[in-house]
């Protein structure tokens, strides 16, 4: 399932993303790590700060909060974070609470997330899985209406 956005929604998303990458944002107490374009890295990156990838990574990113693969960014590996925004290209696996593919994003991956957004123009080829933690959470919550259980309960009361 894909969600498409209008130009107004695109501007709002860009403003929200700019705020997330702002040094003045209270959540960015650990700063913002950026790998600039024309930089190629091989290995694993671990970051407790907001992380922005504009270069090329042949390896994995283990982020704590937000990982943003910018328009010039390319990741050949796995990404794990709370939120992943992809405006560049990713090949591998992505695991996060929220994954958003921007209008210039290209993703060839298995995505495991609770929230999944593809903006108009974004490309996704792969497999989408719902985040397991949410499935377990839903199983423990009582269902609003289960006809069989209701009928059994009524029969026991009679």
Query: What does residue 29 show for φ and ψ, rounded to 5 degrees?
Result: -65, -25
Q: Is 49 inside a domain boundary?
A: yes
pLDDT digits (tens, 9 = 90+) for 93-114: 999 999 999 999 999 999 999 9
- DSSP for 31-84? -EEEE-TT-EEES-EEESSEEEE-SEEES-EEESSEEEE-TT-EEES-EE-SEE
Whether 78 maps to a domain, the answer reads: yes
In a domain, 2, yes or no: no
Tell whether 12 is covered by a domain.
Answer: no
Count of domains for the chain:
1
Q: Indicate the average pLDDT of the chain.
A: 80
What are the pLDDT digits (tens) for 28-46? 456 888 999 999 999 999 9
- Domain span holding position 88: 33-125
């Amino acid at each position: 399932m894909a969600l498409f956005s209008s130009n107004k929604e695109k501007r709002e998303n860009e403003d929200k993303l700019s705020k997330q990458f702002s040094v003045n944002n209270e959540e960015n107490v650990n700063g913002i790590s950026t790998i600039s374009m024309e930089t190629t890295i091989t290995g694993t990156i671990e970051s407790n700060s907001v992380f922005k990838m504009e270069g090329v990574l042949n390896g994995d990113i283990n982020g704590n909060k937000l990982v943003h693969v910018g328009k010039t960014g390319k990741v050949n590996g796995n990404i794990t974070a709370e939120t992943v925004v992809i405006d560049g290209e990713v090949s591998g696996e992505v695991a996060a609470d929220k994954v958003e593919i921007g209008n210039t994003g290209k993703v060839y991956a298995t995505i495991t997330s609770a929230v999944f957004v593809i903006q108009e123009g974004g490309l996704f080829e792969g497999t989408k899985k719902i985040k397991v933690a949410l499935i377990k959470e839903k199983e423990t919550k009582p269902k609003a209406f289960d006809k069989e259980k209701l009928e059994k309960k009524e029969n026991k009361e009679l």
